Amino acid sequence: MIVCSCNVFSDSQVRSAIASAAQRPRTSRVYSSLGCVAKCGGCAHTIKKIIAEMKTAPMSGGCAGHLSSEH
């Protein structure tokens, strides 16, 4: 699913950026790791929601990709 129309990136790209982050995930770091900056900011809420979902998801078994995509 496309999360950001301005920069054209998907939820799977956001999840990958969060999973590979060396520091605590933040919205600005997700943009940075994807090589872009926030434009209209409409996707920031969805990125924050994905960050929160991934914090609470169990890390074993590699099941982060199954999280809800109802945005």
Q: pLDDT digit string (tens) for 9-40?
A: 999 999 999 999 888 889 999 999 999 999 99
- Domain assignment present for residue 50? The answer is yes
Task: Note whether 52 and 71 are within 8 A (CB).
Answer: no
Q: Is 71 part of a structural domain of the chain?
A: no
- Give the span between the Cα atoms of 43 and 45, in whole angstroms: 6
- What pLDDT shows up at residue 9? 96
Which pLDDT score, from 0 to 100, does residue 69 have? 46
In a domain, 52, yes or no: yes
Number of structural domains, the chain?
1
| pLDDT reported for residue 59 | 58
pLDDT score of 68 more than 70: no
What lies within 8 Å, CB to CB, of 60 at 6+ separation is none
pTM, whole model, 2 decimals? 0.75
The overall average pLDDT reported for the chain is 85
Q: What domain range includes position 48?
A: 2-58
The pLDDT, as a whole number, for residue 70 is 47
Give yes or no for a contact between 7 and 34, defined as CB atoms under 8 angstroms apart.
yes
